[in-house]
């Protein structure tokens, strides 16, 4: 079967697929396995990534962790604890910033492995309000809630974690500069899309369509330009691997302008 990716891209962009009955749109996804389609827009929409979050699910995670001592929620880098263990010892005291995280059982696992860690979390207000309730009900220690950029800059962080989040940030370059200023050592991006291209575009905006009827817009980054931001500010690349949590199909991006597109994890370390 010859797959006409140009046609299917057009059907997704014009919202034809979104308007079809759910069983048909699912069949189309099963055949073409399209995750993202390229767009011509240059700015991410406002309120692009609303998140459903509730205390009941967080309480279930806490209950499961107490029974198993294991994290059950999904992570774009499931080996994060082992990565941190390669950088810090169990009795080290360090500041860990979880930017864009939402599930409490990672904190529980991190605290179990590193009792002296100071954990900071930043996300949308409705998520932070729920986590405040969870924190107070469970008397969590060193579980620090950050509601705005001013609070964010009040501390320095040894490890800053961005799990598949930077691509949804409208002004991501300003955020990266802010994070570099408050970073003491490590900034980690997991589950992030990068492309290599002969053109000098620093990013492109794509439409995410693999979870219809929900759709989101996000950045794919020019890998060399993205890396250069850090290399020019006294950071080096400590780790770069393909992310293995999903086998994403990029075949509908076939073009002479792209030599490759990859789903990567990159750890930067301050010199």
Residue 54 falls inside a structural domain: yes
State the CB neighbour count (10 A cutoff) for residue 55: 14
Residue 11 falls inside a structural domain: no
Q: Is the peptide bond before 126 cis (omega within 30 degrees of 0)?
A: no
Q: Give the pLDDT band of residue 27 (cuts 50, 70, 90).
A: confident
Asked whether residue 180 carries a pLDDT value surpassing 90, the answer given is yes
- Number of compact structural domains in the chain: 1
Residue 81 falls inside a structural domain: yes
Mean pLDDT score across all residues of the chain: 92
Domain interval for residue 140? 35-270
Asked whether residue 185 carries a pLDDT value surpassing 70, the answer given is yes
State the CB neighbour count (10 A cutoff) for residue 126: 13
| Angstrom distances, CA of residue 129 to CA of 58, 132, 141, 245 | 13, 5, 17, 29
Report the CATH number that the domain containing residue 247 is assigned in CATH: 3.40.50.150
Q: What is the mean pLDDT of residues 28-34?
A: 86
DSSP codes of every residue in 157-200: EEEEEEES-GGG-TTHHHHHHHHHHHEEEEEEEEEEEEEEESS-
What's the pLDDT score for residue 1? 47
Q: What is the DSSP letter of 51?
A: -
């Amino acid at each position: 079967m010859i797959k006409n990716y140009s046609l299917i891209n057009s059907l997704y962009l014009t919202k034809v697929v979104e308007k079809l009955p759910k069983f048909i749109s699912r069949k189309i996804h099963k055949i073409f396995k399209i995750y993202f389609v390229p767009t011509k827009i240059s700015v991410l929409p406002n309120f692009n990534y609303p998140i459903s979050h509730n205390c009941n699910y967080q309480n279930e995670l806490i209950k499961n962790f107490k029974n198993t001592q294991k994290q059950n929620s999904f992570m774009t880098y499931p080996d994060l604890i082992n990565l941190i263990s390669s950088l810090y010892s169990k009795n080290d005291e360090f500041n860990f910033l979880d930017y864009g995280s939402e599930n409490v059982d990672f904190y529980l696992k991190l605290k179990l492995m590193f009792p002296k860690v100071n954990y900071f979390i930043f996300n949308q207000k409705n998520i932070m309000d729920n986590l405040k309730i969870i924190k107070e009900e469970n008397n969590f220690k060193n579980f620090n809630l950050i509601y705005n950029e001013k609070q964010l800059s009040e501390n320095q962080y040894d490890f800053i974690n961005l799990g598949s989040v930077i691509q949804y940030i409208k002004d991501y370059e300003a955020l990266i500069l802010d994070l570099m200023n408050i970073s003491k050592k490590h900034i980690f991006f997991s589950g992030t899309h990068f492309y290599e291209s002969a053109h000098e575009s620093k990013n492109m905006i794509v439409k995410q369509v693999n979870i219809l009827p929900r759709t989101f817009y996000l950045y794919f980054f020019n890998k060399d330009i993205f890396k250069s931001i850090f290399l020019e500010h006294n950071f080096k690349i400590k780790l770069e691997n393909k992310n293995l949590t999903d086998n994403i199909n990029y075949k509908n991006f076939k073009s002479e302008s792209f030599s490759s597109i990859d789903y990567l994890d990159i750890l930067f370390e301050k010199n």
